[in-house]
A and B are shown apart, each in its own frame.
Chain A
Amino acid sequence: MTTVENTGNRRLSPEELDAFGAEMEAIRQRIVADLGEKDSAYIYDIVKKQRAFELAGRALFYLPVVGWVPAVACLSISKILDNMEIGHNVMHGQYDWMGDPHLNSRMFDWDTMAPAENWKYGHNYMHHTFTNIVGKDRDVGYGVLRMDEDQKWHPYYLGNPLYAFLLMTFFEWGVAMHDLEVDELVAGRRTWAENKEIGARIWRKVKKQTMKDYVLFPLLTGPLAPLTFAGNFTANIIRNVWTFNIIFCGHFPAGVATFSQEECEDETQGHWYYRQLLGSANITGSRTFHIMSGNLSHQIEHHLFPDLPARRYPEIAEEVREICERYGLSYNTGPLHQQLLGVFKKICKFALPDRKKPAAAEVRSAPALEGVAA
C-alpha cells in the first residue's frame, strides 16, 4: 500500500527512475568536488556566533530583571544553533572532510538530552535509510503519534493532539527516549537487554545536561539562582518548540508521500532518491530563518544529500526544483504557517478513525501502478 497516488505525483518508469537518480548523483558529485574554504569558514563562523550567544546568555543572567529576557533569548538562539545548524549537520558527517576533530561526526555531541551515539543510529541510519516507509521509519509518528493512514487506528490515538503538544514541549526528552523504542518493548519485539547500553548512555547524558542547566549555572548566579534556573528551563523549552515545529514540517505537511515496505524491497538508487524527494517537504523563508532551522527548511535537499554541508542546500534547491518540473514530480514547499497548518490538520485527522474511502479512488489508482512493480 502506498500513498504516492494521493499526493498528485506521477510514478516514474524504471528507466525514468534511473535517469532521475543519475541527475541527483551528478549534483552530489559536483558539490563534493567543490567543497572547500568557504564551507569551512561558514561553519567556523556559525560556531563562533553560537559560542558568543551562549556566553552572552550565561552572563546576562547576572543582571537581575532587565537581563532575564535577553539572557533567555541569547541562550535559546545558542541552543537552537547548536542543535540545528551545527549538531544535526555535523553529526551527519557534513564536515568530516575538514579533518577537524571538533566538527567530526564521530566525536561531536550536542547540547540536548539525546546522546549523539544513540541519535546517530536512530536518525542517520533508521530514519534516513528508511525515510517514510511505514513500519520501518520510526520517525513516522515517533512510536507515539498516528501520522499516516497505514498506521492502524486505536482509541489510544484520540489523544494525538495532546501527545503532539507534550512532545513539542519536551521534545529533547522525546528525542532521547525515542531510541529506547519503548513501543517495541511493550509489544515484545525488543528486549530489555538490548536497551541496557542505550539507556545507560541516556542516563549519563541527562545527568550532565541537568547538572549544568539546572544546578551549576543557577548556583553560580548566587541569590539569582531561581531566576537562572527558570531562564535555562525556558530556553530549553523555546528550543524544543522551535525544533519540533521545524522537524514536523519536514515530513508531515499535506502532500508528503509515504511508502510500503514491499515497494522498497530491492530498491534502486533512483527509487531511493525518488522516495527521499516525495517523503520530504520544505519551508520557505529568509536566510536567517534557514540558518536557525539548520537548513532543515530545505528538508528535501537534506534528504537527497544528507552528508553535504547544509549551507549548500539553497543553491542545490534551484536545480532540484527544475528537475522535479521536468519529471512531473511535486516539490513540496510553502511558508511556515502553511506547512504547520498541514501538520496540525494531519495530527487531528489521524486522531480519529478513517472515514470509509470512496471505492472509486482505489479503482482510479490501480492503472498508475502498472509497470512500476519492477
Chain B
Amino acid sequence: MALDLGGRILRSRTVAALASPHGIDRYLTQINPMLAAHEVRARITDIHPEVSAPGAPRVATVTLQPTSTWRGHRAGQHVSVGIDTGEGRRTTRVFTVSNTESKPGEPLTITVRAHEDEHATPYSISKFLTERATVGTLVHLSQAEGDFVLPDRVPEHILLISGGSGITPVMSMLRSLQRRTHRGKVTFLHWAPSADRQIFADELDEIRRQGHGVDLHILHTADGAPYLSPALLEKLVPGYREVPTWACGPASLIEAAQAAYDGTESLRVEYFKPPRTAGVAGGEMAFARTGKSVANDGATILDQAEAAGLTPESGCRMGICFSCTTNKSSGRVRNVLTGETSELPDEQIRICVSTPEGDCSVDL
C-alpha cells in the first residue's frame, strides 16, 4: 500500500512539474538505479545456461527483477533491452520474454542465444548476456510490446510453430496455457538443428511425457527431419488451415508457413529477425547533414550509412525501438517489414527497416 501511494505521488503531475524539464526518474536514479517512477530498469538475478554444447552458440535464460514500474507482459510479447556493454556506450536489442505472463513488478526471463552482432560496439548484447553479464548487472528495459499474443479466450485447438530460438515466445505461450489450465488441445511443432542444441530440452521432455493435451513434435534437421510444408502440416494436423496458428522463427520458416497458410486468416507470425527482402539497387543515397552520398546498393539506409562511415543512432535494428528515426527529405523508401513504399517529402522514417528506391536523401 505504502509503495503504491509513493508510486502514485512520484507519478503525479505536481512531481513532474517540480522535476521539469528532466523528469523525476533522472533524480531517483541518482539515489538508487532501481528507483523509478516511469522508466523500467532491472537487475539480473540469475543466469541459467540452456545450451552449452561444443561448437554450438551458447544459450542462456536470464532472470530479471524489474523496477516496480514494470507493467507485466502477455505471453508472446517482447521487450527492448539496453545494456552498457563497455566503452561508455549503451546498446539496445529486442528479446522475447520467455516466462509465463507476468504481473506488474514481477520478475521476467529472456532466453538469449549468443551470436555475433557486427553492429554492436564493442560487444554484442547476446554474447554479453550469455558470457559476461553477472548477477547484479543493471539493464534498461522498455515495457512489453507486440501483438503476437494469445487471445484471452484461447480457441479449442491451437497450433504453435517455432524454429531455433523462435521458440521463446511460443514457450511463454505454452507455459502460460499450462498455468491457465487450458483444457483444449495444443499442437506444438518445433524445428531445431539437433538434440544437443535444443533449448528448454528438459522441460520439453517433461511436457512430452505428461501429455496434458499438448501434442509435441520436435524436428531435428540434422537427423533428416522434413522441413515445414503443406503436406507435412496436413499429416501432423489434419485441416491445419482452419486451426488458429502462431509461428515464430527464422525468415525461411516464416516464409514457408506463410506459403502453407496462403489465403487463410489462421496464421499469426513473429519474425525473429526481419526478412532480408533486399531493396532495389540504383540511384543515389545522399546523407544531407554530412554531405556524403553513396550509390544505393539496395541495403537498408542504416546499413548504407554505416558502410559510408557514419554512425547514426540505432537500437534494435528491426523497426521496433524507433531510436533510428530520421527525417527523410526526399525520395521513395520501402519498408522491408511490410513492403509498403512511401515518398512523402520530410517524413520520419526508421532507417533500419527502410531501403531507398532510387534517389533518396536523409538527414544524417
Q: A217 to B323, alpha carbons, bound, how many Å?
A: 34
Which of B21, B86, B87, B313 lies in contact with A96, CB distance below 8 A? Answer: B313
Interface residues of B in 1-34 (CB under 8 A from A): 14, 17-18, 20-22, 26-27, 30
DSSP majority for the B interface? mixed
Question: A51-B26, A51-B27, A97-B311 are known contacts. Are A36 and B21 too (CB-CB below 8 A)?
Answer: no
Residue numbers in B under 8 Å from A96 (CB-CB): 313
**What's the least CB distance linking B102 to chain A, in Å?**
24
A51 engages B30 (CB within 8 Å) = yes
Which of B14, B17, B30, B313 lies in contact with A99, CB distance below 8 A? Answer: B313
B27 engages A98 (CB within 8 Å) = no
Which of B21, B88, B313, B315 lies in contact with A35, CB distance below 8 A? Answer: B88
Which of A48, A100, A109 lies in contact with B90, CB distance below 8 A? Answer: A100
Residue numbers in B under 8 Å from A51 (CB-CB): 26-27, 30
Question: A51-B27, A102-B26, A216-B14 are known contacts. Are A36 and B88 too (CB-CB below 8 A)?
Answer: yes
Question: A99-B82, A104-B313, A216-B14 are known contacts. Are A111 and B21 too (CB-CB below 8 A)?
Answer: yes
Q: A104 to B26, alpha carbons, bound, how many Å?
A: 14
B18 engages A99 (CB within 8 Å) = no
Instruction: Let me know if A190 is at the binding interface, CB within 8 A.
Output: no
Instruction: Let me know if B292 is at the binding interface, CB within 8 A.
Output: no
Instruction: Let me know if A10 is at the binding interface, CB within 8 A.
Output: no
**What's the least CB distance linking B259 to chain A, in Å?**
38
Residue numbers in B under 8 Å from A55 (CB-CB): 27
**What's the least CB distance linking A246 to chain B, in Å?**
21
Q: A177 to B27, alpha carbons, bound, how many Å?
A: 29
Residue numbers in B under 8 Å from A110 (CB-CB): 21
Instruction: Let me know if B61 is at the binding interface, CB within 8 A.
Output: no
Chain A residue at smallest Cβ distance from B16:
A208
Which of B17, B26, B30 lies in contact with A212, CB distance below 8 A? Answer: B17
Instruction: Report the interface size class on chain B.
Output: 20 to 34
Q: A316 to B237, alpha carbons, bound, how many Å?
A: 69
A97 engages B89 (CB within 8 Å) = yes
Q: A167 to B36, alpha carbons, bound, how many Å?
A: 39
Interface residues of B in 51-92 (CB under 8 A from A): 82, 86-92
B90 engages A216 (CB within 8 Å) = no
Q: A205 to B20, alpha carbons, bound, how many Å?
A: 9
Residue numbers in A under 8 Å from B92 (CB-CB): 99
Instruction: Let me know if A209 is at the binding interface, CB within 8 A.
Output: yes
Question: A48-B30, A51-B26 are known contacts. Are A98 and B17 too (CB-CB below 8 A)?
Answer: no
Instruction: Let me know if A369 is at the binding interface, CB within 8 A.
Output: no
Residue numbers in A under 8 Å from B27 (CB-CB): 51, 55
Residue numbers in A under 8 Å from B90 (CB-CB): 98-100
A99 engages B21 (CB within 8 Å) = no
Residue numbers in B under 8 Å from A38 (CB-CB): 88
Chain B residue at smallest Cβ distance from A269:
B291
A211 engages B17 (CB within 8 Å) = yes
Indicate with 1 or 0, residue by residue over B138-151, a CB within 8 angstroms of chain A CB atoms. 00000000000000
Residue numbers in B under 8 Å from A100 (CB-CB): 90
Indicate with 1 or 0, residue by residue over A126-167, a CB within 8 angstroms of chain B CB atoms. 000000000000000000000000000000000000000000
DSSP majority for the A interface? helix
**What's the least CB distance linking A38 to chain B, in Å?**
8
Chain A residue at smallest Cβ distance from B315:
A99
A98 engages B21 (CB within 8 Å) = no
B18 engages A40 (CB within 8 Å) = no
Question: A51-B26, A96-B313, A99-B82 are known contacts. Are A40 and B89 too (CB-CB below 8 A)?
Answer: yes
Indicate with 1 or 0, residue by residue over A52-80, a CB within 8 angstroms of chain B CB atoms. 10010000000000000000000000000
**What's the least CB distance linking B286 to chain A, in Å?**
17
Interface residues of A in 245-274 (CB under 8 A from B): none
**What's the least CB distance linking B20 to chain A, in Å?**
5
Residue numbers in B under 8 Å from A5 (CB-CB): none
Chain A residue at smallest Cβ distance from B313:
A96
**What's the least CB distance linking A106 to chain B, in Å?**
8
Instruction: Let me know if A37 is at the binding interface, CB within 8 A.
Output: yes
Indicate with 1 or 0, residue by residue over B313-353, a CB within 8 angstroms of chain A CB atoms. 10100000001000000000000000000000000000000
Which of A40, A47, A104 lies in contact with B88, CB distance below 8 A? Answer: A40
**What's the least CB distance linking B93 to chain A, in Å?**
11
Residue numbers in B under 8 Å from A111 (CB-CB): 21-22
Interface residues of A in 186-209 (CB under 8 A from B): 205, 208-209
Residue numbers in B under 8 Å from A36 (CB-CB): 87-89
B86 engages A37 (CB within 8 Å) = yes
Q: A55 to B28, alpha carbons, bound, how many Å?
A: 11
**What's the least CB distance linking B219 to chain A, in Å?**
39
Residue numbers in A under 8 Å from B21 (CB-CB): 109-111, 205, 208
A216 engages B313 (CB within 8 Å) = no
Instruction: Let me know if A363 is at the binding interface, CB within 8 A.
Output: no
Q: A47 to B88, alpha carbons, bound, how many Å?
A: 15
Which of A41, A109, A216 lies in contact with B18, CB distance below 8 A? Answer: A216
**A residues adjacent to B (C-beta < 8 A):** 35-41, 47-48, 51-52, 55, 96-102, 104, 109-111, 205, 208-209, 211-212, 216-217, 220
Taking A96-B313, A98-B88 as known contacts, 4 extra A-B pairs with beta carbons closer than 8 A to each other, sorted by chain A number, are A38-B88, A41-B88, A101-B323, A212-B20
The 3 A-B pairs with the shortest beta carbon distances in the complex, nearest first, are: A40-B88, A99-B90, A109-B21
**B residues adjacent to A (C-beta < 8 A):** 14, 17-18, 20-22, 26-27, 30, 82, 86-92, 311, 313, 315, 323
Q: List 19 A-B contacts (CB under 8 A).
A: A36-B88, A38-B88, A48-B30, A51-B26, A51-B30, A52-B30, A98-B89, A98-B90, A99-B91, A99-B92, A99-B313, A99-B323, A111-B21, A208-B20, A209-B20, A211-B20, A212-B17, A212-B20, A216-B17
